[in-house]
Amino acid sequence: MDPNLQFWQSNGQSFLSRLRLWFKFLDPSSVLSSQAEIEQARTLLQNEGHKQRNEKVANAWLLSLSSVHPDTGAVISPVFRSQVFLPISAPLVVASLIPHKGIKPALFWQFLLQAYCAGFNHANRNATATKDNKTSMKQSILIVGTVAYSAFAGALPQIILKRFRLIGAVAETFSRSLLPIPLSACLAAFSVMVVRSEEADNGIRVFDSKGNAVGVSKAAGSKAIKETALSRATLFGTTAAFPTLLLALLKRAKFFQRNPMIIAPVRHVSTAIIFGLMIPVSFSLFPQFGKIKKENLEEEFQSLDGHSELFYHRGL
């Protein structure tokens, strides 16, 4: 039986249980664990993970699940592990949402943010899709294209203001405060859908309730992509929306009217805080091992007896 599936079936059935787990997984200190410590944790789980439940085994699960790719068994690059998603991406998110004075700074920060997000999406995808040199080249081109397009689209509010010489309070409010909200959500979902498109093209592995692989499904791959895209859109859309709403309320207060210099720090701090809080929430929206009904899968799965639902690794 797949041990990861067994773990998530036992501990991650509800949203709150997944949320508690993600708060533990996202501890940045675990990224400092060495390769030897990760291998020791995996060995412990193989030998004792199913036999006993103690603090040592629990810590081994946390380290293994947050550091090792569940499909390939390879250790994920420290830069793209879930534990460092907040420390690395939060400054990029804050910088990308700043009302820049020029187009070049906006493009620069958007490029860094979109490049990191694309790398994170690729490193944490479902990796059971069949690969060859042709597929790898196609995927590389898609990733580069996604980063370039998303960086340009992310800087669109600044481009609109500068290139089209829009003036007036309404136009500036729309471009600087309102447009970034749906734009951030759409670009985050777009990155997931394009970077991980091979899962829908080639399919991902599906399991029965006992963790036995029963085949590869394109329908399950599409469902995994859609769920992850929705969770990422929730993360970035909420992060862009909350500071805007907060500042709209605070600007009415006399204290902020007398001290307008405080507005910028409040925007930056509130963006970082809401982004940090929304990461575990967005990661918990859907189970790591999702369910899909047999009738929604390809024809080859319809002949399976005794399985009304199958499971798939959603990725992150």
Q: pLDDT class for 305, splitting at 50, 70, 90?
A: confident
pLDDT(107) > 90: yes
**pLDDT confidence of 168, banded at 50, 70, 90?**
low
Pair of tokens at residue 71: 């499909």
Contact (CB, 8 A) for 215 and 301: yes
Which stretches does DSSP call E strand in 222-313?
A: 289-293, 309-313
Q: Is 239 helix (H, G, I), strand (E, B) or coil?
A: helix
CA 100 to the chain's CA centroid: 26
Percent pLDDT > 70 in the chain is 90
pLDDT-based confidence at residue 165 (cuts at 50, 70, 90): low
Which token pair is 255? 């204290």
Q: What is the mean pLDDT of residues 172-180?
A: 81
Lowest mean pLDDT among 12-16, 35-39, 183-187, 273-277: 12-16
* C-alpha distance from residue 42 to each of 4, 49, 149 (Å): 11, 9, 40
Q: What is the largest CA-CA distance in the chain?
A: 71
**Residue 57 pLDDT > 70, yes or no?**
yes
Over residues 219-227, the mean pLDDT reads 93
* Stronger pLDDT, 166 or 194, i.e. the higher one: 194
Mean of the per-residue pLDDT values of the chain: 86
Among 139-143, 178-182, 257-261, the minimum mean pLDDT is found in: 257-261
Average pLDDT over residues 190-206: 91
What are the backbone dihedrals phi and psi of residue 20, each rounded to the nearest 5 degrees, phi first?
Answer: -60, -40
pLDDT of residue 178: 86
- Cα torsion at 226, 132, 78, 290 (round to 10°)? 30
Residue pair 12/18 in contact by the 8 Å Cβ criterion = yes
Least confident of 25-34, 278-287, 297-306: 297-306
- Residue numbers of the domain that contains 194: 3-313
- Looking at the chain, the whole-number percentage of residues with pLDDT higher than 90 is 36
Element (H, E) at 217: strand 213-217
pLDDT tens per residue across span 149-162: 999 999 988 888 77
Angle at which helix 103-123 crosses helix 133-154, to 10 degrees, equals: 150
> Does position 5 have pLDDT exceeding 90, yes or no?
no
Between CA 248 and CA 119 the distance in angstroms is 34
H helices of the chain, in order, are 3-11, 15-25, 35-48, 55-67, 85-97, 103-123, 133-154, 156-163, 169-173, 180-195, 197-202, 218-250, 254-258, 263-284
Domain count, the chain: 1
Alpha-carbon span 112 to 43, nearest angstrom: 37
pTM of the prediction? 0.90
Q: Residue 87: name the closest of 30, 154, 146 by CA.
A: 30
According to the model, what pLDDT value does residue 134 have?
65
pLDDT for the residue 164: 67
Residue whose token pair is 């002949």 = 303
**What pLDDT, on a 0 to 100 scale, did the predictor assign at position 238?**
95
CB contact at 8 A, 275 and 184? no
Secondary structure class of 77 (helix, strand, coil): coil
Q: Which pLDDT value is given to residue 33?
A: 82
d(CA 17, CA 50): 20
What are the tokens at 304? 């399976």
Other CB atoms within 10 Å distance of the CB of residue 302: 9
